[in-house]
């Protein structure tokens, strides 16, 4: 199976669900400008988001540093070993005792989840899926993650991130321990890691970077501590740097010169000439543009064409129910929340009479 097109036409949740349902193996390549990401599948399961052909841009490397598993110095040592021995990163991590097998498995799962969360925020781009099992890489440690479960968690994170951004409005804001507050006896590892960093001095950006957590996990832990009344906002944001205003110097009115008058006259002539040319030439140009613009619609690849609108709507509805726990109140919601392209959701809303009771739905042609 080969799929290719634009994310405006076929949303990423649709593509992931389609590959998972059909239990396909291969690689999905996503491109948005200079950003490139890959997702490898094996029988519909996500097994990696690392491309061995792009070793210099291996997403696992910055993730290991960002989450405190490796220091910058250790990463440089590992990259030297890679260059000299051409050994794979996970093999070096294990043989060099940088990480145990269980730790590396956990890190790979975290990196895949975090990367997928970021990819689902892409608003545009192109995709290409090559259904060739031979492209699926094998590493020293391999994972096989449920695509639907990853999608559900990523959509949850997107929803929660919106709520957290309403609370943490600036990376310059400062949090502090609430006076006389007692930390709960049971705290998650993430909460235990961020709480000591909340000292009333560090801005939020420093708490996030020094926590050695995925940004979402750090914000989630801070938000819960804020809800529990353990911490509070000390300073909403650092004051902006003010640039002193230069006192205005009264300007001496300039007397119009003969050159200035000539320039004004030439400018008026140019404006009048432009208007005349536009009046005479625009209709023919517009007619030519219409002839060029109106052509045969760009056909979808045959592998996508057989997935008709009704099937895509059904797939989106089922994906929504698995992610949200119930069917959407209307078909427009599928477009608003990224389960379908907005244009397709609007078209479906016009074509079908849709009703939902949460656990069930009905959909009939108008």
Q: Are residues 127 and 219 in the same domain?
A: no
Q: Are residues 149 and 174 in the same domain?
A: no
Domain boundaries, position 218: 170-235
Q: Report pLDDT for 224.
A: 96
Q: Are residues 135 and 35 in the same domain?
A: yes
Whether pLDDT at 287 is above 50: no
Q: Is residue 1 very low, low, confident or very high in pLDDT (cuts 50, 70, 90)?
A: low
- Which whole-number Å values give the CA distances from 283 to 147, 280, 295, in the listed order? 53, 7, 20
Q: How many residues does the chain have?
A: 366
Q: Report pLDDT for 2.
A: 62
Domain end call among 213, 235, 257? 235
Domain end call among 101, 128, 154? 154
Q: Report pLDDT for 276.
A: 44
Residue 186 maps to which CATH number? 1.10.10.10
- Per-residue model confidence as pLDDT tens digits over 87-140: 999 999 999 999 999 999 999 999 999 999 999 988 889 999 988 778 888 888
What are the respective helix, strand and coil percentages of the chain, to the nearest 5? 50, 15, 35
Token pair for residue 271?
A: 């404006």
Q: Are residues 128 and 175 in the same domain?
A: no
Q: Are residues 84 and 8 in the same domain?
A: yes
- Per-residue model confidence as pLDDT tens digits over 220-262: 999 999 999 999 998 765 444 444 444 444 444 444 444 444 4
Q: How far apart are CA 338 and CA 147, in angstroms?
A: 17
Q: Are residues 142 and 15 in the same domain?
A: yes
Q: How many domains, in total, are found in the chain?
A: 3
What does the mean pLDDT of the chain come to?
81
Residue 258 is assigned to a structural domain of this protein: no
Q: Are residues 78 and 6 in the same domain?
A: yes
Q: Are residues 29 and 133 in the same domain?
A: yes
Q: Is residue 312 very low, low, confident or very high in pLDDT (cuts 50, 70, 90)?
A: confident
From start to end of the chain, where are the E strands? 2-6, 26-32, 35-42, 45-48, 126-130, 174-177, 231-235, 352-356, 361-365
Read off the pLDDT of each residue in 12-17 and give the average, rounded to a whole number: 92
The burial class, CB within 10 Å (0-12 / 13-18 / 19+), for 102 is exposed
Q: Are residues 147 and 182 in the same domain?
A: no
């Amino acid at each position: 199976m080969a799929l290719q097109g634009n994310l405006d036409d076929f949303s990423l949740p649709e593509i992931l669900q389609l590959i998972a349902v059909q239990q396909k193996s291969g690689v999905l390549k996503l491109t948005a400008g200079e950003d490139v990401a890959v997702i490898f599948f094996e029988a519909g399961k996500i097994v990696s988001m690392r491309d061995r052909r792009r070793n210099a841009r291996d997403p696992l490397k910055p993730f290991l540093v960002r989450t405190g598993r490796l220091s910058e110095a250790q990463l440089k040592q590992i990259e030297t070993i890679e260059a000299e021995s051409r050994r794979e990163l996970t093999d070096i991590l294990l043989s060099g005792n940088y990480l145990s097998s269980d730790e590396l498995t956990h890190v790979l799962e975290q990196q895949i989840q975090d990367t997928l969360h970021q990819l689902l925020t892409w608003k545009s781009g192109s995709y290409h899926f090559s259904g060739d099992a031979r492209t699926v890489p094998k590493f020293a440690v391999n994972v096989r993650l449920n695509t639907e479960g990853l999608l559900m968690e990523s959509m949850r994170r997107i929803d929660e991130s919106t709520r957290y951004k309403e609370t943490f409005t600036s990376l310059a804001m400062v949090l502090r321990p609430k006076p006389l507050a007692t930390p709960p006896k049971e705290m998650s590892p993430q909460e235990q890691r961020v709480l000591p960093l909340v000292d009333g001095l560090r801005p939020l950006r420093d708490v996030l970077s020094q926590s050695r957590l995925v940004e979402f996990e750090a914000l989630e832990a801070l938000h819960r501590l804020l809800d529990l009344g353990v911490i509070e906002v000390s300073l909403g944001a650092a004051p902006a740097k003010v640039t002193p205003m230069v006192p205005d110097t009264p300007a001496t009115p300039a007397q119009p010169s003969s050159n200035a008058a000539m320039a004004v006259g030439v400018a008026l002539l140019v404006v009048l000439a432009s208007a005349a040319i536009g009046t005479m030439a625009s209709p023919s140009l517009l007619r030519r543009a219409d002839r060029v613009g109106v052509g045969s619609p760009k056909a979808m690849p045959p592998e996508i064409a057989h997935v008709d609108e009704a099937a895509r709507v059904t797939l989106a509805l089922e994906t929504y129910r698995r992610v949200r726990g119930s069917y959407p109140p209307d078909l427009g919601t599928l477009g608003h929340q990224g389960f379908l392209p907005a244009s397709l959701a609007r078209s479906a809303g016009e074509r079908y009479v849709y009703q939902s009771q949460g656990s069930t739905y009905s959909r009939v042609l108008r």
